[in-house]
Chain A
Amino acid sequence: QQPVQSPQAVILREGEDAVINCSSSKALYSVHWYRQKHGEAPVFLMILLKGGEQKGHEKISASFNEKKQQSSLYLTASQLSYSGTYFCGIVPNAGGTSYGKLTFGQGTILTVHP
Chain B
Amino acid sequence: DSGVTQTPKHLITATGQRVTLRCSPRSGDLSVYWYQQSLDQGLQFLIQYYNGEERAKGNILERFSAQQFPDLHSELNLSSLELGDSALYFCASSVGTVNQPQHFGDGTRLSIL
Chain B's nearest CB lies how many Å from the CB of A29? 8
Q: Which of A21-64 contact B (CB under 8 A)?
A: 29-30, 32, 34, 40-44, 47, 49, 55-56
Q: Which of B73-107 contact A (CB under 8 A)?
A: 90, 92, 97-107
How many positions in chain A have a CB within 8 Å of any CB in the partner chain?
27
A44: chain B residues within 8 A (beta carbon): 101-103
Assembly CA distance A60 to B103 (angstroms): 18
Q: Is the CB of B101 within 8 A of A101?
A: no
Q: A41-B90, A44-B103 are in contact. Are A99 and B56 (CB under 8 A)?
A: yes
Q: A41-B105, A42-B90 are in contact. Are A104 and B56 (CB under 8 A)?
A: no
A106: chain B residues within 8 A (beta carbon): 42
State the A residues within 8 Å of B (CB).
Answer: 2, 29-30, 32, 34, 40-44, 47, 49, 55-56, 87, 91, 97-107
Q: List 20 A-B contacts (CB under 8 A).
A: A40-B106, A41-B2, A41-B107, A44-B102, A44-B103, A47-B101, A55-B99, A97-B55, A97-B56, A99-B98, A100-B98, A101-B45, A101-B48, A101-B56, A101-B58, A102-B102, A103-B45, A104-B44, A106-B42, A107-B43
